[in-house]
Amino acid sequence: MPSARVGSTVAAVIEEARAWTHDFVELPDDERVDLEIVRDRPWLAFCEYLGGLRSCISVNVEVPISALELLHLTIHETYPGHHAERAAKDQLLVRGRGLLEETLVLVPTPQSLVSEGIAEVAPDVLLAGDGGEALTTVLKGAGIELDLDHGRAIEQALEPCRWAEVNAALMLHQSGASEAEAQAYIERWALLAPEFAAHVIRFLSERTSRNYVVNYPAGRELCRSYVAGNPERFRRLLTEQVRVRDLLAARDGPNCDHV
């Protein structure tokens, strides 16, 4: 994706994903997302829920990304990912039921595992059906051709490699490896280009994110096993207080005991 086109393309993807999500789950009519384009950040994108059913989505254009990665991170951060979860729970749980604890987002906690799992599964849910075709059309309108089925097959094949980033964090902060050693490791085992791998090392070196990386692959696996292809289960993740123990119970079966 040319960096000059990222902002306008993300904005168009947000609008299409928002329309799809409003058809999928009950969202308040006055929720909204503000978009800003940034550089020199340790992450690719970030969703800051501001309250009042509003989020600010920041997209970092410093690191080159593909069209499929742009779709994934936009859906992850907005609809039906982080913003959709926060807006739905604010409306249904806080305003509707008085559950004030849902106004707090604590990092890193088990809540992060659930939230990142929801955001990681969100592209599966949206892109698997007619939403994928609609978003491919949006990209085409921006001058970007994407073979979505081919791209998603590659993305799914690479998913186990995401655990290499967790290993790299352990290398850095537990085993005493150098940043150069950790970067070489994820270039090989996560199959990342040097520029992208260096950006991951920066993320893993931040005090607020160095142990956060586990939430992405672990959350994705737990939430995906919980959803198990059932859209109603994903709707529940967006609108109810689903805990890590619920995800573990769904993965391990009803006869397992959890502490």
Q: Residue 196 falls within a domain, yes or no?
A: no
pLDDT tier at 254, thresholds 50, 70, 90: low
Greatest extent of the chain over all pairs of C-alpha atoms, in Å: 53
Give the model's pLDDT for residue 147. Answer: 95
Asked whether the predicted pLDDT for residue 255 surpasses 70, the reply is no
pTM to 2 decimal places:
0.94
Q: Residue 49 falls within a domain, yes or no?
A: yes
Q: What is the pLDDT of residues 10-44, one digit of tens each?
A: 999 999 999 999 999 989 999 999 999 999 999 99
Instruction: Give, for 186, the enclosing helix (H) or strand (E).
Output: helix 179-189
Q: What's the token pair of residue 60?
A: 């970092």
Q: Residue 71 falls within a domain, yes or no?
A: yes
Q: What's the token pair of residue 100?
A: 């004030």
Give the model's pLDDT for residue 11. Answer: 97
Q: Residue 170 falls within a domain, yes or no?
A: no
Domain count across the chain = 1
What integer is the mean pLDDT of 142-156?
93
Q: What is the amino acid identity at position 22?
A: H
The overall average pLDDT reported for the chain is: 94
Instruction: Give, for 36, the enclosing helix (H) or strand (E).
Output: strand 32-38
Q: Residue 186 falls within a domain, yes or no?
A: no
Sign of CA dihedral 185, 81, 71, 195: negative
Point out the least confidently predicted range of 60-64, 84-88, 176-180.
60-64
Give the model's pLDDT for residue 17. Answer: 97
Give the model's pLDDT for residue 107. Answer: 86
pLDDT tier at 259, thresholds 50, 70, 90: very low
What integer is the mean pLDDT of 126-151?
92
Q: Residue 259 falls within a domain, yes or no?
A: no
pLDDT tier at 256, thresholds 50, 70, 90: very low
Q: Which of 63, 65, 78, 98 is nearest to 18 (CA)?
A: 78
The domain of 103 spans: 3-157+213-252
What integer is the mean pLDDT of 167-195?
97
Q: b/e for 22-59, b at 16 or more Cβ within 10 A?
A: bebbebeeebebebebeeebbbbbbbbbeeebbbebbb
Tell me the backbone φ, ψ of residue 139, rounded to 5 degrees: -65, -40
Angstrom distance (rounded) from CA 46 to CA 74: 10
Q: Residue 193 falls within a domain, yes or no?
A: no
Q: Residue 115 falls within a domain, yes or no?
A: yes
Give the model's pLDDT for residue 1. Answer: 85
The count of residues in the chain is: 259
